[in-house]
A and B are shown apart, each in its own frame.
Chain A
């Protein structure tokens, strides 16, 4: 079955397939992971802003192999009767069978729904876009921003990639200038003049996986996620925390939480610098 010239190789393959935990632990003893990363190291992050020309704002993020694309489309809508001067922000995360064999075709599965809810919570709690800013005419016309986040390749750590792509896309969104014509009760858009969206805060997410009840490492791949005994997601918002979520899993001590917070803050600085430099490169 296997060629005789590679006995050591085949042994390694068998160990990895049959006893993934043991294999993994051998690496962790030396404070490193199979792909060569340290426990506190993120995978290389590539960000491409403005990749979809037909959308008002867009971004493509590659976090190692995990590829997530976010597109922002703006449309007109009438506001709710109870909130006449609030626009709408509608995020939606799609995990299609395209990105991983784990997901089946059909209605959104549990993971996609959980991610959609997560993105929605981050948007609401961080107040990075104020709903009042999306209002054109109180009670009559508001903007609705559809934020479609599509995962193209799922290799673990979807929340981080989704939030990063969403933030980058929102920061690059340009809305056409609109005037509300009182007589015809119709909006008039200026096809030339565009205004950038006013972003008030910068949420950045960092996900940690808990392994063997006492080890914490950052940015898990999909295999690491399946072996992990728990995860912690921390969303920082400039210098404050915005959302801390640990859905069950092994208990952690307060010290470990504090270590995670520090790493999350340092990651947020890195990521915000990345976004800023890229936005500058577009303007130049």
Chain B
């Protein structure tokens, strides 16, 4: 679906407000939106809300062969999906340019910064390693997807636990979760992205743009950084030219933001750990507040199983009373005609009379004779396996001899003959089971 296009008045209004150091949602230019991180019941799943932008991430692992160039390194695969849920213009399946750009940014931020220790994922050098897959789904797009996605990806990598493995000689045993506690992944540092949107050729800048600001901006800069002031990735896109000190200023702002966010992530992880250890309830379900008008909760009521059983048996009995005897049909229809070695048929009847071809109706040949007999002795022969005809099988040219009275020729002529049949309109009623109609 196409999105509603942005009007010129809206564009001008946003540009004017930014020039006056004001933002539409009331934030200061350097303020980021409130972030909320919730972890799910399963290890390695979390939801991140950055204002209205919502992102869901999930980690999964499996045993795979390592890359030949790096036989003792595990594999990390990051996938960002722009779900059609997030924005009507996102299409499922096909990755748009925007999607490719975000994917590449996230990959650079996580994989190339080596935040995850891939050597610890090795089981047997050159044969088996753990392959970790991070799927990030964007649920609602209100601007600045990359920040939210990077927060979500790092949080789930820190939250995830992989099954424990013991290697004894050539035997590899993967312990299920019930047997042994799963092992956390070793995350060296947490690289997070901060987005800066520029207006008027780099004159004005805002941090963490919303969707409206993103549509109006001239260009943006994304800095991937960790709390140790190390820049992991930097990308400038759009119609802007930045000066050196502008870039440095932005990176200083980014340091502050990243430090705040990393603290938030650690706090959320600690909370989750405490709740799990104390045996309390955790997961996404606990994060929704029942006081809201749009939320509701209900416990199911007890179902009386005996009542249900009585209803079911009453149903079966009532059906048996109204049943017509089916023995006669079985006798008729289970007759199997074995025609040749490996070929047999059941049932009788002819080709479908439904298809019509207007041209065929005109060029009906009278010499095509088609006698339709519905006797039990009707036989059909197919070329058998021993014939060797099947090699050059061309369905249309095959002549199939059906028996004494019947002959099906080619597909085209079959349609002709169907014309003949409809002309005579000879439809024989057969004995058989009728269907229950209301």
Do A and B pair up? The answer is yes
> Residues of A with Cβ closer than 8 Å to B?
2-3, 6, 9-10, 12-13, 16-17, 30-32, 34-53, 60, 62, 64-65, 67, 81-82, 139, 152-153, 155, 214-217, 221, 223, 253-256, 258-259, 262-263, 266, 269-271, 273-274, 277-278, 281-282, 284
Assembly CA distance A283 to B99 (angstroms)? 60
B341 within 8 A of A: yes
Assembly CA distance A263 to B333 (angstroms)? 12
**Assuming the A-B contacts A32-B429, A45-B345, A282-B342, are A269 and B330 also in contact, with contact meaning beta carbons closer than 8 angstroms in the complex?**
yes
Assembly CA distance A221 to B147 (angstroms)? 53
Query: Chain B residues with Cβ under 8 A from A274's Cβ?
Result: 336, 344-346
B430 within 8 A of A: yes
Q: Which residue of B lies closest to A263 (CB)?
A: B433
Q: How many residues of B contact A (CB 8 A)?
A: 57
Asked if A35 and B352 sit within 8 Å, CB to CB, the answer is yes
Query: Chain B residues with Cβ under 8 A from A256's Cβ?
Result: 436
Query: Chain A residues with Cβ under 8 A from B54's Cβ?
Result: none
Query: Chain B residues with Cβ under 8 A from A47's Cβ?
Result: 343-345
B128 within 8 A of A: yes
Asked if B395 and A81 sit within 8 Å, CB to CB, the answer is no
Give the Cβ gap from B395 to chain A, nearest Cβ, in Å.
7
Query: Chain B residues with Cβ under 8 A from A2's Cβ?
Result: 358, 361-362
Give the Cβ gap from B268 to chain A, nearest Cβ, in Å.
32
4 further contact pairs, Cβ within 8 A, besides A9-B422, A274-B336: A37-B430, A48-B385, A270-B330, A273-B334
B403 within 8 A of A: no
Asked if B352 and A51 sit within 8 Å, CB to CB, the answer is no
Asked if B347 and A214 sit within 8 Å, CB to CB, the answer is no
Asked if B344 and A259 sit within 8 Å, CB to CB, the answer is no
B425-438 toward A: CB 8 Å interface, digit per residue (1/0)? 00111101111111
Q: Which of B334, B336, B340, B419 has the most CB of A within 10 A?
A: B336
Assembly CA distance A53 to B388 (angstroms)? 10
Q: Which of B174, B316, B351, B352 has the most CB of A within 10 A?
A: B352
Cβ < 8 Å to A, chain B residues 292-351: 315-316, 318-319, 323, 326, 329-330, 333-334, 336, 338, 340-351
Assembly CA distance A277 to B344 (angstroms)? 8
**Assuming the A-B contacts A269-B334, A273-B334, are A51 and B342 also in contact, with contact meaning beta carbons closer than 8 angstroms in the complex?**
yes
Assembly CA distance A152 to B340 (angstroms)? 22
B165-189 toward A: CB 8 Å interface, digit per residue (1/0)? 0000001101000000000000000
Q: List 8 A-B contacts (CB under 8 A).
A: A36-B428, A38-B433, A41-B349, A45-B346, A48-B382, A48-B385, A60-B382, A270-B330
Interface of B is mostly: loop
Give the Cβ gap from B319 to chain A, nearest Cβ, in Å.
5
Asked if A9 and B336 sit within 8 Å, CB to CB, the answer is no
Q: Of A9, A44, A53, A282, which contacts B361 at CB under 8 A? A: A9
B353 within 8 A of A: yes
**Assuming the A-B contacts A38-B434, A51-B385, A255-B436, are A44 and B345 also in contact, with contact meaning beta carbons closer than 8 angstroms in the complex?**
yes
B342-373 toward A: CB 8 Å interface, digit per residue (1/0)? 11111111111111101001100000000000
Give the Cβ gap from A58 to chain B, nearest Cβ, in Å.
9
Asked if A152 and B351 sit within 8 Å, CB to CB, the answer is no
Q: Which of A12, A40, A46, A263 has the most CB of B within 10 A?
A: A46
**Assuming the A-B contacts A12-B422, A269-B330, are A258 and B344 also in contact, with contact meaning beta carbons closer than 8 angstroms in the complex?**
no
Cβ < 8 Å to A, chain B residues 182-199: none
Cβ < 8 Å to A, chain B residues 224-279: none
Top-6 shortest CB links A-B:
A44-B347, A214-B438, A38-B432, A39-B435, A40-B433, A46-B345
Give the Cβ gap from B389 to chain A, nearest Cβ, in Å.
10
Q: Of B63, B128, B336, B434, which contacts A277 at CB under 8 A? A: B336
Query: Chain A residues with Cβ under 8 A from B92's Cβ?
Result: none
Asked if B63 and A266 sit within 8 Å, CB to CB, the answer is no
B100 within 8 A of A: no
Give the Cβ gap from A272 to chain B, nearest Cβ, in Å.
10
Q: Which residue of A lies closest to B374 (CB)?
A: A36
**Assuming the A-B contacts A12-B422, A41-B432, A262-B323, are A65 and B351 also in contact, with contact meaning beta carbons closer than 8 angstroms in the complex?**
yes
Give the Cβ gap from A131 to chain B, nearest Cβ, in Å.
18
Query: Chain B residues with Cβ under 8 A from A42's Cβ?
Result: 347
Give the Cβ gap from B174 to chain A, nearest Cβ, in Å.
6
Assembly CA distance A44 to B352 (angstroms)? 11
Asked if B434 and A31 sit within 8 Å, CB to CB, the answer is yes
Asked if B338 and A35 sit within 8 Å, CB to CB, the answer is no
Query: Chain A residues with Cβ under 8 A from B220's Cβ?
Result: none
Query: Chain B residues with Cβ under 8 A from A36's Cβ?
Result: 349-350, 353, 427-428, 430
Asked if B128 and A81 sit within 8 Å, CB to CB, the answer is yes
Asked if B354 and A221 sit within 8 Å, CB to CB, the answer is yes
Give the Cβ gap from A214 to chain B, nearest Cβ, in Å.
4
Query: Chain B residues with Cβ under 8 A from A253's Cβ?
Result: 438
Cβ < 8 Å to A, chain B residues 402-438: 419, 422-423, 427-430, 432-438
